[in-house]
Amino acid sequence: MTERIFVFVDEEELYSMMKDLDCLYCRNPVTASKHHLKKKHLRFAIYYKDSGIGKFSIPCYCADGGHGRSHWHCPMCTKILQRTKDYKIHITNHGVEMTDQSTVELQPSTVLLETLQTDTDDRTTGNKSSCMKCGVHFTTTSNLRRHERLQHCQDQQPMLCVDAKNGIYVTPKDTHGPRVPVHIQKSFSLQILLCELEECWDFMKAQAQRGNPGRECRHLIRTNLARPYTPPPPLCVHSLEDMTCKHLLSTPHTQQCQEIHSRAGLDGVDCVYPIFWGGHELSERCMYFSVYTGLKDKWCQFGRTRVTFDTRSGIWKCLCDFGRSRCVHKCLSMWWLFQERPELLGNALETSADDVGELEEEEEEEEVEEDDGVQLCPEEGDIC
């Protein structure tokens, strides 16, 4: 029986290996014709360079993957991975360089053209979007973006600079699902190159052990396409006073906001930086804020934390891990939103004077009990 291999340098190597025998990469018996290989395997191939040589891997549908699902066999070790994204990360950790199809160009075949039915009517009606590289058509733009990301390595994720002085950026953590931002710091003047995710630490540590100490994680790489720093609308004291007069913030919270805001000004950075991803067609149900803390901890490694506001439910969340139901970081974000986008707050602003009075009484009691002063941060997930 022909031995299965999972990496090829060109299509002919794949064709000649099976010569119209049963496909070695499918669970059920099927003739490994060129038609089948192009439609089922080559269409989703992943391309990379190993020691400067262009190669590609194809997805497998054998019984090893379970339930007939597509999966990937690593050609460098025995590991099997179910998701394309995980496979790319895995083989990158083996030291290969991801590429597009430039080294092993796979031209659109007759099979693909027949399968995907690319005709002029689809273009004129606007019901399909086409890939600029290979011409494949998709019914939705989200499917097109996924195809471009997986097949052509086009990671077009936004990257915003929130602190030009210290070289701090925010970018989506993942390429799918909610675009939750993560902080990274890349400053050549400060000689800092860090991402706040542990998985990225492990990746860069592994690369350093392999002799690539300058290798960056996928988030740090995006700084090459970062937008120029644009300062957000600054916080104004009169709007904070207006919130206090309307009983939207208690007096202790107002004082805490003023203190943090002043400290940020002395450090020469923005106290609150709202994160709008712009024209990337990302969901705006949740708003995110990069908020100055002036601290260095696991939840704010670069002196900033992330605050999330759900515009539908009115729920606020912060990364800090203390026990208050309303932390200063949420209050600072609410201050910015009250000043610039009050229509998004909705029911979150419906706080009565009695509620504020009760909050102030509770805070005064807690201040008496605590020897170390007032804690400024809450437990993640509490409702503001």
Q: Which of 119, 123, 341, 340 has the alpha carbon at shortest distance from 236?
A: 340
- pLDDT at res. 185: 93
- Span 229-250, average pLDDT: 91
Q: How far is CA 243 from the centre of its chain?
A: 33
Please provide the average confidence, as pLDDT, over all residues in the chain.
77
Q: What is the pLDDT of residues 350-370, one digit of tens each?
A: 433 333 344 444 444 444 444
| Better pLDDT: 277 or 301 | 301
User: Which one-letter DSSP state was computed for residue 302?
Assistant: T
Separation CA 288–CA 276 (nearest Å) = 8
Separation CA 352–CA 356 (nearest Å) = 7
- Decide: 187 and 229 in contact? Cβ < 8 Å: no
Separation CA 328–CA 326 (nearest Å) = 7
Q: What is the pLDDT of residues 29-59, one digit of tens each?
A: 888 888 888 888 888 899 998 888 889 999 9
> 293 burial class (0-12, 13-18, 19+ CB within 10 angstroms)?
buried
Q: Where are the domains of the chain?
A: 11-98, 117-152, 160-225, 237-369
Q: What is the pLDDT of residues 140-162, one digit of tens each?
A: 766 776 676 666 655 567 889 99
Reply yes or no on whether the pLDDT at 250 is more than 70.
Answer: yes
DSSP, residue by residue, 102-118 = TSS--PPPHHHHHHHT-
- pLDDT at res. 356: 38
For the record, the structure tokens of 255 come out as: 């004082």
pTM above 0.85, yes or no: no
Phi first, then psi: give them for residue 170, nearest 5 degrees.
-130, 145
SS3 of residue 230 by DSSP? coil
